[in-house]
Each structure stands twice: as C-alpha cells, then as structure tokens.
C-alpha cells in the first residue's frame, strides 16, 4: 500500500517522510487516534516506504522486490500482532500464529476495517479478544531473528490496548531492551488504556479524524454517487470506516431521518397517537438498526445544539433531502433540555443492549422528550 492510497492527512504524511529521511524515528512508535481503521493502513503504507529499495520523495516506488512482497503480504521482515480469542482445540500456548493465515487473507481483502470485522472473519464473534503473554513471547522471538533482507524488521501491533496485564508487563521489557535494527508500531484507539510506562517509551504520532469533505471525496473515488457520499460523510463522525458502512446502508439512514422527523413532531405536539406510531415502527427494526437509529438521533440533537450555541445554520443533507427543517427543531433546544435529551437516549441505548422491552423503553423516552421539548431555557 502506498501513502497516496491513504485519504487526506497530507501534513502528517510529510511529517512521517521527514522523520524517515532524517533518521528521527524511534524504535517504538505509538500511532493513535479515534479510528484504527485509518491508522492501520497508514502504518502499513509507512512501513512500505521505510522498506522500499527505491523510494521517491513522497512515497514508496511500488516496483522493487520489497514493495511487491509487501503488497502480497509476504515480506519476511514485517510481522503482525492483533487481538484474538480462544478456540476449541487451540493449543494452550495460543498466540497470533494460530490465526495468521486468516489474518493475512483478511487484510489483503480489506484496507479499512474494525475489530469486529476481524473477529467475524476469524469466527470469533462474541468472544473476549485479547493479546496474551504467549503472543508477546512470539513478538520477541520475531524481533530477535536476523533480518532476511538485511534491513529493518517491523512489527505492527493492532490495538495494543488489548494486552492483558501479564502481557503488558512482558511487553514493557521488550520496549526497555529493543532488538537491533527493529521498529515496533502500535496502532491504538485508546492509548489511555495502555500502561503509562509503555506509552512513555514510545514516540507518539496522533492521527486526526478526517474532515467531511475528505470522506466525501474518498467515497466518490470508490464509486459511491455524489449525494450518498455527501450524506454518508456528514454522518461518519470523521471515521472512514463509518462512512463506508453508511454508504452501503444509505436508505436505512433516510428511514431514520423520517422516523426522527415524525417522532419529534409527535413529541412536541404531545400527540399520543403519533408517539405510539413511532414506537411501533421503531420496535419493528432489528436490534442493530435500533442502535444505529438511536445513535443517529443523538448525533442529530448534538448537531442541532451546536447550531444554537454557535449560531450556525442547522443544515444537514439528509434532512434537506426529506424536507425537514432542522433549524426549526433546533429553535426549541437549549443547553439544559438537549443535555437531558441526550442522556435519555444514551440510557435507552444501554437498556436496549441489555434486552429491555423496546416498546416500554421508547414509550418512556417519548413522553420524557415531550416534556423536554417544551422546557423553558
């Protein structure tokens, strides 16, 4: 993968190239941000740049033997570590080698993915994933091997926050006594969950979320139509993975917007018939759709509040498409009632995840909203 294949992040890419060409990289780099779906391919592309035999000023060549091996996931000096879970008939000293063939097939098929995507692919859905002490021993062995190509050895650890306690302590020793001519890349969404003694020994690289325009442009480059790209980007919260997922499920989000529109009108006018119509329609959604819808409702309230507090226009392409004037809804919001409304929806999401009665939960939420929308500032 080339650096040019990673959407946006031009300034960060330039920074990484400068660090490489001036030999200012440490032996351990902690890449962190809100989305490992973006960070992981960035780190892969950076490893290719570092390993490339004939790099250009701003990218790997793509044609040398190292670049070809990296594209085929067969470069012998690049090793991966990632969360996994126990399986029937797996060895007691289970480590990532047991899943490596599946992992390499998976990352060859998908450039952008989340942890659940990987666990689904490996038939580990619903299991508690971690990185154990046996895996850290395996990493140490890989780092102690002699380089096949005579250059640097690389280890990419996907989501190191899944290191358990014993693994974390052992990994700390790995960082304290680095192997010669090796680099460790940590790809983290929650660096605060790592031991402070680990993060303090790493050179930190923050990967910011993408702007809506960047996600929109990327989606269009993937063949998504202009309108769907615009709507998906506006809902993606800076995440390229969310943008991709929403673009494939765009009609559902149009339905969520229409549902929200009818629901808010019923709540504001306190019309029980309209409220119970909403409850019935919401209850017909699948569990995953219910969670998506609630998150969409919370994002809409947050957007509307920002419009009020920052005196901005409450425009959203999805609501524009269905003819709902979000500015009118925003006019009844203020800090207190929007904060409470967000909490009510968040609690409802929690209750639904615990398999609470959908109709009872959403009826309760609706009548609370009916009061909140008429609350004076």
Asked if 236 and 246 touch (Cβ cutoff 8 Å), the reply is yes
Instruction: Determine the average pLDDT of the residues in 48-67.
Output: 96
Integer Cα distance of 295 and 277 in angstroms: 20
pLDDT of 72-84, one tens digit each?
999 999 999 999 9
Please name the residues in contact with 82: beta carbons below 8 A apart, sequence gap of 6 or more.
Answer: 96, 99, 103, 118, 131, 157, 158, 159
| CATH 1.20.272 domain locations along the chain | 249-372
Closest to 186 in 3D by CA, of 175, 176, 14 = 175
pLDDT of 220-232, one tens digit each?
999 999 999 998 9
| CATH 3.40.50.300 domain locations along the chain | 3-208
Q: Is 174 a residue whose pLDDT tops 60? A: yes
What is the maximum alpha-carbon separation in the chain?
74
Other CB atoms within 10 Å distance of the CB of residue 152: 17
pLDDT of 137-146, one tens digit each?
999 999 998 8
Helix axis angle, 335-353 to 358-372, nearest 10°: 180
Instruction: Determine the average pLDDT of the residues in 284-305.
Output: 88
Closest to 29 in 3D by CA, of 277, 260, 198 = 198
For the 249-372 domain, the top CATH level (class) is: mainly alpha
Please name the residues in contact with 15: beta carbons below 8 A apart, sequence gap of 6 or more.
Answer: none
Asked if 6 and 41 touch (Cβ cutoff 8 Å), the reply is yes
Which of residues 269 and 178 earns the better pLDDT score? 269
| Residue 322 binned pLDDT confidence (cut-offs 50, 70, 90) | confident
pLDDT, residue 293, reads: 93
Written as one string, the DSSP assignment of 196-256 is: HHHHTTSEEEE-PPPPHHHHHHHHHHTT--HHHHHHHHHHSTT-HHHHHHHHTTHHHHHHH
pTM summary value: 0.85
Written as one string, the DSSP assignment of 28-64 is: EEEEE-S-HHHHHHHHHHHHHHHH-SS--SSS--S-S
Q: What CATH code would you report for 3-208?
A: 3.40.50.300
C-alpha dihedral over 244, 246, 248, 254, to 10 degrees?
A: -150
């Amino acid at each position: 993968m080339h650096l040019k294949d990673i959407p946006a992040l031009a300034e960060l890419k330039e920074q990484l190239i400068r660090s490489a060409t001036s030999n200012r990289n440490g032996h351990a780099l902690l890449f962190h941000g809100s989305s490992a779906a973006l960070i992981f391919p960035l780190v892969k592309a950076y490893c290719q740049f570092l390993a490339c035999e004939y790099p250009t000023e701003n990218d790997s060549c793509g044609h040398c033997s190292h670049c070809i091996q990296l594209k085929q996931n067969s470069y012998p000096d690049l090793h991966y570590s990632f969360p996994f879970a126990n399986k029937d008939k797996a060895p007691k000293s289970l480590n990532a080698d047991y899943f490596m063939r599946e992992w390499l097939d998976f990352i060859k098929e998908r450039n952008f993915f989340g942890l659940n995507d990987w666990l689904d692919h490996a038939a580990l859905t619903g299991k508690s994933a971690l990185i154990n002490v046996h895996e850290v021993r395996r990493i140490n062995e890989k780092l102690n091997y002699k380089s096949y190509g005579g250059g640097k050895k690389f280890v990419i650890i996907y989501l190191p926050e899944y290191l358990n306690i014993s693994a974390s302590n052992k990994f700390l020793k790995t960082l304290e006594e680095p192997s010669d001519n090796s680099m460790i890349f940590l790809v983290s969404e929650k660096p605060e969950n790592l031991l402070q003694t680990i993060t303090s020994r790493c050179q930190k690289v923050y990967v910011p979320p993408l702007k809506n325009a960047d996600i929109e442009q990327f989606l269009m480059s993937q063949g998504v139509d202009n309108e769907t790209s615009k709507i998906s980007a506006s809902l993606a919260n800076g995440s390229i993975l969310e943008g991709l997922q929403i673009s494939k499920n765009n009609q559902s989000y149009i339905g969520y917007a229409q549902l929200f529109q009818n629901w808010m009108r019923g709540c504001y006018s306190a019309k029980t018939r309209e409220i119970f119509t909403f409850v019935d329609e919401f209850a017909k959604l699948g569990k995953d759709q219910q969670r998506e819808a609630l998150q969409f409702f919370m994002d809409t309230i947050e957007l509307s509040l920002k419009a009020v507090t920052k005196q901005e226009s409450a425009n959203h392409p999805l609501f524009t498409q269905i003819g709902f004037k979000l500015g009118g809804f925003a006019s009844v919001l203020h800090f207190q009632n929007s904060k409470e409304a967000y909490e009510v929806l968040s609690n409802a999401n929690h209750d639904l995840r615990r398999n609470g009665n959908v109709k009872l939960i959403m009826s309760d939420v609706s009548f609370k909203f009916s009061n909140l929308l008429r609350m004076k500032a």
